[in-house]
Amino acid sequence: MKLFARIAVILLLAGLALGVWILSAEPEAGPHSEADPSAKNNGAPMPGAVKIPVFSSSLDCKQCHQEIYDEWMGSHHQIAYTNPEVRKLSNDFRNKECQACHLPRPILETGLAKRPLPRYDRPNEGVGCITCHMDAKQRIVGRRSRPDVGCSPIRNEKWLTTDSCKTCHNQHKTTDQWAASTYPSLNIDCSSCHMPVIQRGHGVAGRQHIFPGAHDIDTLRTAAEFRARKQGKKVIVEVENKGAGHNFPTEERHRAVDVLYRFVAQSQLEQDAPGFTRLYRFRQPYIGDPTPNTQLPAHKTWRGEISLEGQSAKGKILQLRLVYKLQPFMPDHEAKQLHEHRISIE
């Protein structure tokens, strides 16, 4: 019994010693620890100390950045998850691979140029302010460090490069296509076309947040030059990728650019019938599709021919169009018309 009593006393003393040590140890962080600036000021905020808020929604940014918020609202970044076109093509996001970029967590959490993680809230924000501007420590990043303003943004050099875009837009090799062109040597990057510098109401220049691209007809029309000329008994047709900065078309495999033509009377030029014939299609096929990739790389020119043999009826016109289709099965009359030529074959 004496042995058990001694063991009990020893355990009791050890427990008391451990308790005293825990109580005397200073916590690593807390309301009165060294990690808290108020700890040395009896709990009151230190003079000049700024409490940086944690942001969780693009709405948090709206108060100070109304103009940028308005540009983003309605953009294809904002509707990346709710867009009916995207939901249809992704089988209502049952294809979960798509969600990581259409409803992503902050891209700096996983690292730039790496596939982001999907999130499961704020579906109406798609790709929003938090997606691009918050880092893994919940700090706001931007073009300049500004400790004097509410969100206290910090400058991140790598974030200012195309690696930010590469995170999602290289899933189909778009930024690799840009890197293989001459545009990097000319200091022309993604932002040059998709986030141009603009002057806002307060007079300070900044980057536009509309992100024009495949849904903007003016942007599409700058991508390629469409040429056609008569040469003997044939017409030479050329498409040159002069302004896309990457393959044309690029990004999603649904996209297609078609060269169409038809022979019609003058009176039929504005009518849908007779239909057009496809001379050529530029497109990256779906995975598993044995069709070759016919995207047109930056600076390259495609050339085709149309025979005029048997098409010399008086008054006939050769009507040619370059059209852009958001998905490959779109009817010709629903496609975006980029350029057109009309050549008399009398």
pLDDT value at residue 106: 98
pLDDT value at residue 267: 87
Same domain, 264 and 323: yes
Residue 35 has pLDDT above 60, yes or no: no
pLDDT value at residue 162: 97
Residue 320 has pLDDT above 70, yes or no: yes
Q: What is the pLDDT of residues 204-221, one digit of tens each?
A: 899 999 999 999 999 999
Same domain, 234 and 319: yes
What CATH code is carried by the domain that includes residue 269? 2.60.40.10
Q: Where is pLDDT greater, at 200 or 23?
A: 200
Q: Is 231 helix (H, G, I), strand (E, B) or coil?
A: strand
Q: Does some domain include residue 235?
A: yes
Domain that holds residue 136: 59-171
Q: What is the pLDDT of residues 241-292, one digit of tens each?
A: 999 999 999 999 999 999 999 999 988 899 888 899 999 999 999 999 999 9
Domain boundary pick from 171, 196, 230: 171
User: Which ranges in the chain belong to alpha helices (H)?
Assistant: 2-24, 59-62, 66-72, 84-89, 99-102, 107-110, 129-133, 163-169, 174-179, 190-194, 217-221
Residue 302 neighbours by CB under 8 Å, 6+ apart: 238, 239, 240, 280, 282, 296
Q: How confident is the model at residue 314 (pLDDT cuts 50, 70, 90)?
A: low
pLDDT value at residue 110: 96
Same domain, 164 and 263: no
Domain boundary pick from 136, 171, 206: 171
Pairing between strand 277-282 and 301-307?
unpaired
Radius of gyration for the alpha carbons in the chain, expressed in angstroms and rounded: 30
pLDDT value at residue 280: 99
Residue 146 has pLDDT above 90, yes or no: yes
Bridge partner residues of 344 (DSSP): 317
Residue 8 neighbours by CB under 8 Å, 6+ apart: none
Same domain, 159 and 264: no
Q: How confident is the model at residue 202 (pLDDT cuts 50, 70, 90)?
A: confident
Q: Is 237 helix (H, G, I), strand (E, B) or coil?
A: strand
Considering its fold, how many domains does the chain have in total? 2
Same domain, 81 and 153: yes
Q: Where is pLDDT greater, at 304 or 21?
A: 304
Same domain, 221 and 331: yes
Same domain, 242 and 331: yes
Residue 78 has pLDDT above 90, yes or no: yes
For residue 144, count other CB atoms closer than 10 A to its CB: 8
Q: Does some domain include residue 21?
A: no
Q: What is the reported pTM?
A: 0.81
Q: Does some domain include residue 309?
A: yes
